[in-house]
Structure formats: structure tokens, C-alpha cells
Structure 1
């Protein structure tokens, strides 16, 4: 099958490569000529494990190619995936659909035969209906064009795996024709037993935004409980472990820390609330506002801990920040909690040095006033406190004794609750983590003796 993928960012480039892997002939389309040139030369302009090798293989075979021409896209394919961004509007929490409408408006004049437009971007419910009306006006009655929705459930860092081995496929369709096309496209996955949910289009649009809102709620819930744990002298990690053993709750997204970021959860959470307001049912999702506030408060809490560790003032103190990407195995810095904290520390007068294995170049473009180191040890030189803010595997493997030789003071705040606190303490570090203000266990000789039973 010959398909086009319109938009070649994180979602589109991954989807294009994976569609080629599943046997389709694929044409990727983007308005950015530099990006198209890079992809045509099998150079991926962002970091996603495994994606560069897959693109290289399929560009080399001729199964995958790229263009800036929507005319060529209309001539090439009968199935067109929409993978453009739907960022938050600068003036509200609503989704900015201008890129989506622009892509459809650019494609429609060149459509000459039966075409299926399949949305993958995360959108407010009702968007597909608006696109359908737009296409009908531009294409006229003589060109059969239909819209379907096939939401993505990718996680950056595992996007290739999520596409080729998904936990479910959602087909939002309004005809047997659209459903069959989607089943043909994903035939290999369906044959392997991947569950398929076939539903109407509005439900499919709501599925992705609801999933992200639910995951965001889990993150903010455990971070809210972490605040209580600190006040009560409890250990949120043990609490989360006990919760995760309940099959009704599960373990995912229950790791306490500085909260979620990235290009999906924050803006999708706000867009869902905004759409509910537009539909007159904003009261039903009012609690999501508190979810958002808790998430942002977690960032403030790690700054408070850093201030405490520096004797009440951060002015003039050197701070090492480990991490810039919003999550490990990615160079994406969109709404990165780590960089938000680093920038706030700088504004408070700190000298901030940041190290990230992959995201430093992107971070430098957005936050040029921060210092960027080439290694964790370089970033830690002379630091009064070290902040662990992105849970890259290499940070968990650092030698606390070696890092201790270059810092000014052995103080570390684990903003992701993933380091081995005992290991850092054994090397002479003062270790702090959100939600774990737990006193040291008393030696056995100091424990009260048991009283004999009466």
C-alpha cells in the first residue's frame, strides 16, 4: 500500500519509518526543507533509539522517501496520515490546530481520487468533523474523501517499539471501507494478536487525551502524597511500592519526583479541560486544574530543598543539574521540568551547570544563559549541591566517591527518586529526595525493650 505521512517530527518520522517496516511504500511530507533534506539523507534530526537505523534501511531500499510537495503526496498515495503538531495556544489552554488545518488545506486541492485521511495527532474531540467539512468544501462532491482517526500512544525513548509492538490499536471510523483500510495497514500487528478497538470517531479522539489526563493524574497523585510523606516523616517510595502491588492500581506512573513534562501530557491535559469548557461540561474536569498545579508545585519543591541545603540562599552558589531532557532516552526539552528548575535557580542567583547526554544542544538554544558541561563530573566541579533531575541510566551508575572529589559540598537532591540513597550516603553525601524525609533507623540498643505480656 502507498501511504503518505504529513508531518515528520517525532511522531511523523517514527510512523513513516514503521509503516515502511510493516510493508507499505511511504512518502513523508514536511514544510521544513532542512528536515526533509536530513531525512532524505537518512539523518534523523532528533534522538530516538533505533529510529536512525530503520530510516537508513528503508531510505536505502527505496521504500521510504521524503518531500516538501503536497501535490506529490496527493499523486503518490491514497491514504494520508496526519502527524502534525497540535501545541498549546499561547493565549489559552486550547490546542492550536492551525498546522493541522494548513496541512489539509494544502493537500485538498490536489486530491483527484478516493482518499482516506487518517489523523494520528492528538486533537480535541470534534476536530475530525471540522476537517471533514473543510475537505468537502474544497474537494467537492466528485472526489470521495473520508476522514478516520487512529490515535498514537507513543512514548519518546521507546517510540519504535510502541509502534511495532503496541498494546492496542484504536480505529475511529465511520465506514466499513475505512476500517478495512486500517486493518490492511496493520495486518501484521493484528495477526500477532494486538487488540483492536473499533469505535466512532469522537470516541477515538477522546481516547488519547483521556489516557494522557489519567496518566498525568497518577503522577500528580503520588507527588501530592509525597508532600504529605515529607511532613509526616514517611517514605513515599515504600508507599508507592505497596500501592503498585494492588492490581487495580498498578506500578506505572507512580514514581514520585519533579513531575511530568514533554510535548504531550501538559498540553493535552489543558486542551481536554478547554474543550470540556467549550462543550459546557467544564465542571466535570475541574480537578485536572489541580493535577496541573500539583505537577508544577513539584518543581518548586526541589528548588526549596536546594535552598535549604545551601543554608537558605542560592545566590552565588554553584549548582550542578544532571539532566535537561524531559525524560531519559530523548533529546526533547519541551516543557522539561529539569530545565524549568535550572532556569529558576539561575534567576535566584545561582551559577548553574547542566549536563545531559543527548539534550544539551537543544537546551542551549532555548536557555543560552545556562552553563553546559561535557560530563557529569565537569558539571559537578565546585558545586554546593547536585540535583538529579532526569533519570538517565548513566546517572544511576555514577561513582559517588569520585564525584565527591570534585564538588565543594557533598549534597545531592534526587528529584527522580531513582538513585541508591544508601550508596551515596556511604560515600559521605547528604542525600535528599522528594517524599522521603525519613529519619535514620535507630540502632537496636536504643529501641525500647519489649515488655513481658501481662
Structure 2
């Protein structure tokens, strides 16, 4: 089989490398020449564990190549659309400019028998509209949503927990084409669901909305816990033992960020408004607001402790929106660091991978190259991203390197007992020792 992947950002680059690793002749197409040049050398334009090795293997074997010329997608058996759908400027809605441009530029190079498979997260109704555009070429369209976790994208692509095919009624050839692509994955017993276009579009945004709601629920409980003196981590452990609820995604802290959950729940709400069902998803607005309030609370807590100790220097550990990623899109940690700096505080930040991406967003933010540099001279230490690198810090050794004796754990990730034994006051969102707002 010959595979083309249109869009070589986070989703597309991973998918193209994965397709090549399955033995398919794969071409990745992107309009960004600099990005394509890096990918041709087997260098990913972002940090993702396992991807450099997968890329280099495909490039070296000759099964994977990258280009800016979309005509090289001609002759492919399956063409995946993997471009971004960011939040539209001045609106909560998804911006479909890149999806529309990808399909329109692809039309002259399609032929009968080719399958165009959308992977981008799009508002419900998009797939049918694009299928109508593709139909005159003799090609067909399916929607095959992705369910990648940043930091685990290679694993999630090659060993997904489910495959979803959104196809037109009676389009057995589209099902057969996707079955052929994913043959080795299906042989392992991976669940496969064949649904219509609308259901496939809703699967992705519904999953993200549910996860966002679960995270914001436990963060709402953290707000209450600080007021009444409860421990939100113990609360999460207790309710997480209920098989109907589960413990995953019940970690209270700074909340969610990144390029998916925030913009997807906003776009979902916006699409519901367009369909006359704004009240149906109205709760997502409060989910979003709870999430944003956690950032406010973290900033306020750092400011409060700086005032208490009579200092203005804060070390921010972590800038990526989650560990094992250099993605700072809508990152709570980066937002907290930026707001503290804009408030006149002296900030030094460190992240194991996100220095470059963070500086593109906040070029004035002082970002150093180690924990030791960040905490040197600090009055307060604030944890913004739960990297294992930070979990593994020896607090006894760190106490010898910094005058700071207050640690604000924005992720409930540190061993509070060990840090306390080393002489630090540890405050964490939703914990009983944290002063109420």
C-alpha cells in the first residue's frame, strides 16, 4: 500500500512515521519547508518520546519521505488528513481553514479507488461536507479520529485501545481500505467500531469533553477542600475506587492545557450553539472556567507566600502543559510564570524540554538550564509541570542550594513528607495545610 499524510505537525508526523514502520510506502506533505527539511533528516520538529527513532528508521529504510509538493500524494491508496483545527480568532469555534485547504489542494490528485481518511478533530457535519467535495473525483471519504496522548503518541498510534471508522452508508470499500492499513493492529484484537460520519466526529470531541469534565470536577472539589480543610488527593483516592468512576484523570492541580482539550471543548460548545443546542453543552463553559480558576489560585498562592516571606523571587519548575512534551499551547504552567513576571515578580523558570517553545510564546521569560539555576536565590518554588525529573529531586540536597523554604506544588506530585522533613513548607492545591482562598 501507498500512504500519504497531509499535515506533518504533531499528529501527522507521528502518523506518517507509524505508517512507514508498518511497512507502507509513506509520504508526508506539509507547506512548511523548514519543518519538512527537519523531517527529511529524521528530526522531529517537537519533542515526543520514541518518535526520533521511528522517523530515522523510516527515512533510512526509504519507506518514509517528506515533501511540500501535494502532487506527490497522487497514486496513494489512502490519504490521511492530519492538519490542525485551532480555535478561530475572536471565537470559540474551530478554524477549518487548514482542513478545507488540504482537501481542496488534494482534489486534482485524487482518483477512483483512493480513500481520503480524515484524522483531524472537526465539528460535527464537516465530514459529510468534505465527502461531497471528494465524490466527483471518484475517491471516497472516511473519518478516522485520533486518540493520541502527547508523550505516548507512538504507543497510542501503533497500539491504540480502539479504532473508529466513520463511513458513508454502504461504503464497504472504505472499511476494507482502513482494515488493510490497520491489519497488523487489528490482528492483536484491537476493538474496531464502524459508525456514520456524525458519530465518528462526535467520538473525539465527546471523549475530550468527558476527560475535561472529570479533571474540572476534581478541581472543583479542590476549591471546596481548601475551604473546609479536606484533602483532595485522599478524596480522589476514595471516589476513584468506585469502578463506575475510576482514579484516572482525578488528579487535582493546575488543570488541563495543550492543543486539544481547551480548544476542543470550546469548539464543541460553539457547534452546539450553532445547532440550537447551546443549553445541552452549557456545562462545558463552567468546566472551562473551573480550569482557568486553578491558574488564578496558583498565582494568588505564590503572591501570598512571597508577601509572607518578604521576597519577590520565584522559581517555576515546569513550563510544558504536561510532562514528556515540549508543548506549551495553553499551558497552565507557562501562564502562571508569565502572569507572575507581568506582576513584577522576578521569575526564573526551568523545563527539561520546553525552553525553546516557551520562549517563542513569552520571549522575555528568564528560562535557565537546570533546577539548580532556577532555585538559586529564590524565595518561593512553584511546581507547574509534574515531570519525573522534578519528582526525583532530593529535597535535602536542594535545601543546601536555595534560601527558599516554601514549595507550592501545583500538581500534587511531590512527596510532601520528604520535602517537609527537609525543612520546606509544602502547599498544594486542594490540601488541608493550604491557606483557604
Please give the range of the TM-score, normalised by the shorter of the 2 chains. Answer: over 0.9
Per-residue CA shift, 1:201-232, capped at 9, x if unaligned?
11000000000000000000000000111111
Larger radius of gyration: 1
Structure 2 residue aligned with 1:442: none
Cα distance between partner residues in 1 of 2:298 and 2:226:
12
Cα distance between partner residues in 2 of 1:360 and 1:438:
32
CA contact (8 A) 2:162 2:190 kept: yes
Cα distance between partner residues in 1 of 2:35 and 2:342:
34
1:322 aligned onto 2:317 = yes
**1:262 aligned residue (255, 258, 261):** 258
Cα distance between partner residues in 1 of 2:154 and 2:166:
22
**1:410 aligned residue (393, 396, 405):** 405
Unaligned ranges ≥5, structure 2: none
**Secondary structure, aligned partner of 1:170:** strand
Structure 2 residue aligned with 1:25: 25
CA contact (8 A) 1:307 1:313 kept: no
Aligned pairs for 1:15-54 within 5 A: 15-54=15-54
- Normalised to the residue count of structure 2, the TM-score between the two structures is 0.97
**Secondary structure, aligned partner of 1:298:** helix
Structure 2 residue aligned with 1:363: 358
Cα distance between partner residues in 2 of 1:170 and 1:379:
45
Cα distance between partner residues in 1 of 2:111 and 2:300:
61
Structure 2 residue aligned with 1:208: 204
**Secondary structure, aligned partner of 2:221:** helix
Shift of 1:244: 1.1
Cα distance between partner residues in 2 of 1:293 and 1:245:
27
Per-residue CA shift, 1:22-42, capped at 9, x if unaligned?
222111000011111111111
**1:155 aligned residue (149, 158, 165):** 149
RMSD of the alignment, in Å?
Answer: 1.3
**1:145 aligned residue (122, 130, 139):** 139
Shift of 1:113: 3.4
Cα distance between partner residues in 2 of 1:374 and 1:383:
15
Per-residue CA shift, 1:346-368, capped at 9, x if unaligned?
11110111100000011112111
1:305 aligned onto 2:301 = yes
Per-residue CA shift, 1:395-419, capped at 9, x if unaligned?
0111112222232331000000010
Cα distance between partner residues in 2 of 1:179 and 1:85:
24
CA contact (8 A) 1:234 1:438 kept: no
Shift of 1:19: 1.0
Structure 2 residue aligned with 1:296: 292
Cα distance between partner residues in 2 of 1:249 and 1:256:
15
Comparing 386-395 with 397-406, greater Cα deviation is found at 397-406
Shift of 1:199: 0.5
Shift of 1:312: 5.8
Aligned pairs for 1:235-254 within 5 A: 235-254=231-250
Structure 2 residue aligned with 1:58: 58
Aligned pairs for 1:156-171 within 5 A: 156-171=150-165
CA contact (8 A) 1:330 1:359 kept: yes
**Secondary structure, aligned partner of 1:285:** coil
Structure 1 residue aligned with 2:107: 108
**Secondary structure, aligned partner of 1:210:** helix
Cα distance between partner residues in 2 of 1:403 and 1:178:
58
**Structure 1 outlier segments of 4+, above 6 Å:** none
**Secondary structure, aligned partner of 1:148:** strand
Structure 2 residue aligned with 1:3: 3
CA contact (8 A) 2:143 2:167 kept: yes
Structure 2 residue aligned with 1:340: 335
CA contact (8 A) 2:134 2:141 kept: no
Cα distance between partner residues in 2 of 1:202 and 1:22:
29
Shift of 1:438: 4.0
Cα distance between partner residues in 2 of 1:65 and 1:110:
18
Shift of 1:78: 2.5
- Normalised to the residue count of structure 1, the TM-score between the two structures is 0.93
Comparing 274-283 with 362-371, greater Cα deviation is found at 362-371
Per-residue CA shift, 1:84-128, capped at 9, x if unaligned?
000000110000000000111111122243321100000000011
**Secondary structure, aligned partner of 1:169:** strand
Cα distance between partner residues in 1 of 2:296 and 2:309:
15
Cα distance between partner residues in 2 of 1:50 and 1:151:
22
Cα distance between partner residues in 2 of 1:296 and 1:394:
26
Aligned pairs for 1:74-89 within 5 A: 74=74, 76-89=75-88
